Structure 1
Amino acid sequence: MSPHSRSAAPLCWARGVLRPATEFRPHVGDRAFRYGDGVFATLLLEQGFLLDADAHVQKLTASADAIGLTVPEPVSSAPQLCEVLRLMGADDSTDAVVRIQVSCESGGRGYDRGECDAWELVELHALPGPRVLSVAILEPGEAPIPAMPAIKSCSALAHVTCARAARRRGVVEAVRCSGDHLLEASSSNLFWEANGDLFTPSASLPLYPGVTRSVVVHEARRSGWTVHEGEFARSALERAGGAFLTNAVRGVEPVAELGGMRMEWAAELEALRAAVQAARIEGAAPLAP
């Protein structure tokens, strides 16, 4: 079932109230609207199961804490978030993208937030369609590095710029670099296989280490892969036989072309993708109470 098949008007949850999404308007003083002063999380709802729900809520809470916000109660735990989604009409046949945003309002303009209470926005969106993934490797400085890369901030201009760079180059995605070192794509983490080992840029670099990235690293090592997390120059990709991107919505997504090189999708990578998906489902939160 699509996320909005029950109603002509899709619903959202905003400030503790269920309302038609078409009626929601941000307040003129909303800090995320004015300054990008807020955080968000994106999750996958699959057949009524919210994948990696606990991990995503923990990351949302950590991001909010880092900028001095408290996550509102309706989205402060996986069970409470599932209750909100049930109120929005989701059930055990729903496949959807779930987006949670936490921000706050202040009475006037200016960067100082002052004292204000955080509020939450929860949305349901249709799943994206499949794609043949071509990925460019950007030149240093072609796309900026986020100011606070480990926080999923509503100030996402660096990611927007990275996505625009991909469009200019005529590819689906692009990987930004810091100097000569590989970082991440606009909304995904990068992995590649070379000589039977798996490689990914270190979480200590200026990038966002997503939840799905962590699942891949864990499942790969459990399956017998040697996983290298480190600082890798662009030239490291010359030895890549296969590659994939990871994020919460698309999971493990094979790369067809990386930096102009054709990638192969070996049986070992497909087995890893299946193991990651199984682990995500096993750890999912059911909507049914």
Structure 2
Amino acid sequence: MSDFETVLYKSSDSETWLSDPMGRIPNRAMYFGDGLFETMVYDGEQIRFWDYHCERLSSGLTLLGFEDFKIPATEITHLADFYGSGKPLRIRWTVYREGLGKYSPESNFVSQVLHFQSFHAAPKLKEIAGFSDSIFLVGNAFSSLKTISALPYVLANQEKVKKGLDELILMDNQGSISEGSASNIFWMKDGRIFTPSLSTGCIDGVGRRVLIEKLAQMGFEVNEGEFGQTDLLNADLVWVSNVTGISMIHQIENQKFDPNLPDFLENIL
């Protein structure tokens, strides 16, 4: 499939989406990272887990003090149908505070950007992972949000590339496992499933939510908590996930795990 890309912009005082990749510059997204984003997958027929994306965005905007924002659900799903034309897309939906000001906003209304791209699924296997020795997350009231000020993840992915790894595992400032460089992390030990709690500073991923719910429905015991490196390294299976899919981890440091995707994870996302 050839790569496809288009960007649309909409301000609070507009009724239409414009083919304007720059929007209004300067803006608070550029100056302060003052906004949130959703990364979504259109599967050729619908935006997967659309309600979960809307719930997460809406609650995050409320927490950040934005004015009541009505989700333009029909507009976005129609645009996905139009640009998708039966093929899968990766959609980044960015919502940021309008106006300028300094740290004190002049407005709590929003501007939006939709970025449509060809979809590429997550790799089924990531061979080698390691622990970050430079980025440590801190859990707070905002750490679970997908903010557009994503500097820790930019630096984490630089470290991953520099080390020649397929995945980098981030810890929090207390020494607990938090997440992957662009994904949530899960592992299985003796039939029980574990994933870090949001208190470790990890993102409240839509894929994470879906996995926790579906695995519980299957009868698995899913434990959210604060776990150390030893807990992870003693696992039988390890995988990372986001809305683009699940990737098994074959090796962390010198410890190897079963690289095969188990049946219960097939088509779960």
Give TM class, smaller chain.
0.7 to 0.9
Distance 1:243 1:216, change over 3 A: same
Partner of 1:281: none
- Partner of 1:165 in structure 2? 159
- Confirm whether residue 270 of structure 1 aligns to residue 266 of structure 2: no
User: Are 2:10 and 1:14 aligned?
Assistant: yes
Of 96-105 and 122-131, the range deviating more from structure 2: 122-131
Corresponding residue to 1:152 among 127, 146, 152: 146
2:105 to 113, 123, 133: 113
Alignment map for 1:34-183 (pairs within 5 Å): 34-70=31-67, 72-73=69-70, 76=71, 78-87=73-82, 89-91=83-85, 93-108=86-101, 110-128=102-120, 131=123, 132-133=125-126, 134-139=128-133, 142-145=134-137, 148-178=142-172, 179-183=174-178
RMSD (Å) for aligned C-alpha atoms: 2.3
> How far off is 1:104 after superposition?
2.7
Q: Pick from 200, 204, 227: which aligns with 1:209? A: 204
Greater shift, 191-200 or 255-264, is seen at 255-264
Normalising by the residue count of structure 2, what TM-score does the alignment of the two structures yield? 0.87
In structure 1, runs of 5+ residues without a counterpart are 278-289
Specify the SS of the correspondent of 1:28.
coil
Which residue identity does 2:252 align to in structure 1?
Answer: L
Q: What is the number of residues matched between the two proteins?
A: 261
Percent sequence identity is 20
**Residue in structure 1 matching 2:27, options 26, 30, 38:** 30
Say which structure, 1 or 2, has more relative contact order (CA 8 Å, 6+ apart): 1
Segment drifting more, 222-231 vs 181-190: 222-231
User: Is contact 1:150-1:209 (8 Å) kept?
Assistant: yes
Question: Could you tell me how far 1:72 is from its partner in structure 2?
Answer: 4.7
Q: Is the 8 A contact 2:194 2:222 kept in 1?
A: yes
Instruction: Rate the CA distance shift 1:220–1:107 in 2: closer, same or farther, 3 A.
Output: closer
Q: Residues 38 and 53 of structure 2 are in contact (CA less than 8 Å); yes or no, is this contact kept in structure 1?
A: yes
